[in-house]
Structure 1
Amino acid sequence: MSKEQKKEIDLTQSTSPIREDSLGSIKAFSGKVSDLINGKHVGENLAWRDHKFQQTGGCLLTQTVGRLVTIRDSALVVHGPVGCAQGTNGYREIYQGIPEKFRAWKGEVELHAVSSNLTESDIVFGGERKLRLAIKEAAGRYNPKAIIIACSCASGVMGDDIEGIVASVQREVEPILVPVHCEGFRSQISQSAFDGSSHAIVKYIVQKPKKRQKDLVGVIAPMSVTLGDKNDLIRMFNKIGLRARFIPDFATVDELKEISEAAVIAPTCQSYGQYMQKALYENYGTPYFLDPAPLGIENTKIWFRKIAKYTGKEKEVEQPIKEELDFVLPRLEELKKSFKGREASIYVSAGQARAVFIPRFATELGIDVAAVNTLELDHNIVDEFEQVYNEIGDFEVHASDYQPFEQSHLLNRLKPDLYTGCAFMGLYKREGSQLRNHSFLSDFSPQSNQFFFRGILNYGTILERALKNPSLNKTLYRETPSPYKSWWYEQDDVEAYVKPKKSYAAKK
């Protein structure tokens, strides 16, 4: 483990440290992967640089709300202006529309969210009264087992005493009150919201284990782990007598209370889950492992065997692995044949787990890797990029907090045949094909599964279809105007709006 990972998590604090401090994360980098790993090896931290101009960026509040609103018997209070809660409008309809047979849980789903509706007057005089009212309204209206209080920039700027209010109101209501510090200005790394959410869940909801449940596996589940992925994992676990408990989406409060009793907490995304895993281990002794994510054949074999080691299923797991390989490998070989003779390149825009998996898989299919973009860089992903570099060679790495103008510049220069990104990354004017690198967690279709053994077939099929069908993008390229002026594409450096680079030279 790196020195950052060895730092203890202090649940007596109101929230987690920001990632700039805890992991040394940065969000502005452009260069070869060899530059990145050589920079790390001279003993200097990753260089933090600010953008002089930003077109967009992530928000800690929206990162928090989209996940914690899915805790099924809770209610969410967004403590801020009503506009900060607008993102909750569609969740109930989206998730309630999932057919029962596709749900990775039993029973209905009722998602509840209210806003404390701070106004200009509240910004001046404080919003504590409205927060009290919102908590009591949520408790009376929905009778939840927990009330999640998501703090906005407005409440943070005002300096509302959130912990004091919670301690006071907790005596008057039955639901567990769970304050989450996700003020947008807290951190320039929006993934700090993952840590803040995990801190709050472990501090306020999770209870001390009464026993170790050897058949219970906690599975970290960010937005990119879809219901299709979950159902496929449940199918596999049923074969060896294991139960999956997904954290935190679609869990109940009682399920989260006992997650400390799991035999192991398994990752799907190190960036999303590492804080939760460490907090459970350091406070309750719950075992965990950080890598690999179960993407691709080899990683998935390692992932299942690590779980089997913690659950005493080493013998039982081998037969399901064999069955899956017997199903997947012949189909994968047929898929590879369809890529033979095609000269193609790919630009990958993804979270950390996919940012290191897709280049390996693309290379295996005979596709060159032009560049990889990810939202943040820290020492953990640099270590993983080093492994990828040793396997497939050099390629470009770009880190930015979205910044579509920078990605457009890179795509215009590199002209890859394939661009793969998630919905957050946008659609770019270009001739080559675009494909998704994942769906969102509400997607229950089998095609949405990209994790585990069968997921590699789905993703490979999506790649194949996109490579064969570039006509939509060609039409859009021909018929739509460019979003940026030509002078921007003439800039030599994609980081023209990033403050001067710091040298990676060794300190004297």
Structure 2
Amino acid sequence: MGAFDGIKLQGREKRLSTLSAYLGTAHNLATEDQDRQNIRTYSEATFDEVIYALKAVGDIEDSITVVHSPLGCGNAKLRFWADGSKSSWYTTNLNERDTILGGDDKLRETILEAYKKHEPKIIFVVATPVVAINNDDISAVVSELEEELNTKIVPIFTDGFKSKAAINGYDLVLHAIGRYLVKGDAEEEKSNVLNLISLSENNEDIKEILLLLNELEIKTNIIPKFGTYEDIKNSSKAKVSIALNHDEGFFLGRGLEESYNVPYIKTNVPIGSKNTAEWLQLVAEVFNVQDKAEKIIERENFKKRKLIDKSPLSGLKIYIDLKTSKATSLVSLIKNLGGEVIGITIDEVDKVNKNKLEELKYDLPVHVGSGQIFEIANILNKLKPDIYIGEAKKTAWVSKLGIIPISIGNVALYGFDGGKKLVDLINKSIKNRELIDSVAANSDLQYKDAWLKKSTNWYIKQEVK
């Protein structure tokens, strides 16, 4: 069965043996039994597949999102709206009666209202846990209204609880996009265009990569982020596809390859000179512009040689808490800059990214746990790094442990200049050492000493089937 076939998609655990709870070393995790699953007997609240799905559709141009849910699930969109997402969304506002008797009528009314007000080219209908329980027939409502309205209506079947890996929400969106929006013929002639698959990258990262592609004179079709309906529909005609983050974008890339004969390039996240050069060379080979790419790589490596020779991060112990592919790519960059990575926390490990762990230091501590701050606090209290690198809005708390927090939310780490920008950010933060010391001396961590002294994997158990 092809990637875009089937109305619903299995959870990432069943498809890819995704592991979302683990503590050990890089070597042990890389050689772990593929089918083994761990569970947490206690877990802090974190993102789920519904939130990731809402993020994925939020930056698609000329689209509206209808969240089929009570108000609470719909309010999750406020986070992305605050971060700059401009797409509007509606909530069907299901109540207790609807959870028992069904909310098909409310869904129909909400879609009609959204269309009447905006007349978008795409309406995404995002399901939620309540809908998974009351078994509303979303497909029937969508089919009925698509005939009536002059727009594409795309159902996304996010249950919210069948997968513990939030990244499964990206897969569900890409499956729906491939099934309902991409059009074309596998045998038709391909255009000289690159599908650049992006889901979570910040604007600055995308700009850095586009500057390189523009220098190679490669025409780019960015999807699904910032893509229009026409961009997505015509992605079947591209010469090749590549994802900025293979973990997130592989599903669309593989689907386009299987269904429309658009080759998909698998590579590392383009962070640091080595990974960026590899990424660029793979693209340049397809478009027969290797000479141009080599000149760019030589120029950029020459410019960065002095920075690397200085080893600007020498003597610093660094802990990384990022998405899996970003974290593994950043490890090599920090090593090249003279720093020492003493541990990483990543969101999930599966068949898509497990091979990247083999490139890490044999005994590097690896913690798998998206949003499990209580476990990270336990680890940091034991390892005592100088620097903690994490995503936006989840780093400041580490200052209570006397650790310098580095948020990379809006920093362009992609491309050849990522190393310099990281060094500048770290140096700027180190100058505020007195502030960090003051916070540590006058603030109480949200966790008790009794927990910090326990084994970090206290609540991580092997699942018994």
Instruction: Give TM-score, length-normalised by structure 1.
Output: 0.86
Quickly say closer, same or farther: Cα 1:45–1:464, change in 2 above 3 A. Answer: same
Question: Structure 2: how far apart are the matches of 1:190 and 1:457?
Answer: 31
Question: Structure 1: how far apart are the matches of 2:341 and 2:145?
Answer: 54
Question: Structure 2: how far apart are the matches of 1:348 and 1:131?
Answer: 42
Encode CA deviations 1:314-369: one digit per residue, 9 max, x unaligned.
233223333333433334445x2x444xx321111111122212222222223222
Encode CA deviations 1:173-215: one digit per residue, 9 max, x unaligned.
111011111221121111111110110011111111553121x
Q: Cα distance, 1:48 vs. partner?
A: 0.9
Encode CA deviations 1:449-493: one digit per residue, 9 max, x unaligned.
1101112221232233334543332222111112111111121x1
1:293–1:299 CA contact under 8 A, matched in 2: yes
Question: Structure 2: how far apart are the matches of 1:356 and 1:401?
Answer: 15
Question: Structure 2: how far apart are the matches of 1:424 and 1:23?
Answer: 29
> SS at the partner of 2:98?
helix
Structure 2 unaligned blocks of 5 or more = none
1:152–1:183 CA contact under 8 A, matched in 2: yes
Question: Structure 1: how far apart are the matches of 2:79 and 2:351?
Answer: 36
Query: Given residue 48 of structure 2, which amino acid in structure 1 is its aligned partner?
Result: C
Aligned counterparts, 1:490-501, within 5 A: 490-491=453-454, 493-500=455-462
- Give the number of aligned pairs: 460
1:417–1:467 CA contact under 8 A, matched in 2: no
1:146–1:253 CA contact under 8 A, matched in 2: yes
Counterpart pick for 1:18 among 6, 11, 18: 11
1:376–1:400 CA contact under 8 A, matched in 2: yes
1:432–1:470 CA contact under 8 A, matched in 2: no
Aligned to 1:264: 240
Aligned counterparts, 1:275-314, within 5 A: 275-314=251-290
Quickly say closer, same or farther: Cα 1:467–1:90, change in 2 above 3 A. Answer: closer
Q: Cα distance, 1:498 vs. partner?
A: 2.1
Aligned to 2:84: 95
Q: Cα distance, 1:87 vs. partner?
A: 2.7
Aligned counterparts, 1:136-285, within 5 A: 136-209=112-185, 210-214=188-192, 216-223=193-200, 225-285=201-261
Structure 1 unaligned blocks of 5 or more = 1-7, 97-109, 503-508
Aligned to 1:430: 401
Q: Cα distance, 1:381 vs. partner?
A: 2.8
> SS at the partner of 2:349?
coil
1:91–1:111 CA contact under 8 A, matched in 2: no
Quickly say closer, same or farther: Cα 1:140–1:495, change in 2 above 3 A. Answer: same
Aligned counterparts, 1:348-387, within 5 A: 348-387=320-359
Quickly say closer, same or farther: Cα 1:500–1:314, change in 2 above 3 A. Answer: closer
Quickly say closer, same or farther: Cα 1:243–1:370, change in 2 above 3 A. Answer: same
Question: Structure 2: how far apart are the matches of 1:354 and 1:94?
Answer: 20
2:26–2:357 CA contact under 8 A, matched in 1: yes
Q: Cα distance, 1:64 vs. partner?
A: 0.9
Query: Given residue 233 of structure 1, which amino acid in structure 2 is its aligned partner?
Result: I
Larger mean CA deviation between 346-355 and 143-152 belongs to 346-355
Query: Given residue 363 of structure 1, which amino acid in structure 2 is its aligned partner?
Result: K
Encode CA deviations 1:204-260: one digit per residue, 9 max, x unaligned.
11111553121x21122122x221122222222222211222221111111111112
Question: Structure 2: how far apart are the matches of 1:467 and 1:46?
Answer: 43
Encode CA deviations 1:76-114: one digit per residue, 9 max, x unaligned.
111101221113336556538xxxxxxxxxxxxx52211
1:418–1:466 CA contact under 8 A, matched in 2: no
Q: Cα distance, 1:265 vs. partner?
A: 1.2
Aligned to 1:485: 448
Larger mean CA deviation between 276-285 and 205-214 belongs to 205-214
Quickly say closer, same or farther: Cα 1:458–1:175, change in 2 above 3 A. Answer: same
Aligned to 1:409: 378
Encode CA deviations 1:275-326: one digit per residue, 9 max, x unaligned.
1111111111111111122111111111111111112222332233333334
1:9–1:278 CA contact under 8 A, matched in 2: no
Quickly say closer, same or farther: Cα 1:471–1:264, change in 2 above 3 A. Answer: farther
Question: Structure 1: how far apart are the matches of 2:426 and 2:35?
Answer: 33
> SS at the partner of 1:237?
helix
Q: CA RMSD in A?
A: 2.0
Q: Cα distance, 1:123 vs. partner?
A: 1.1
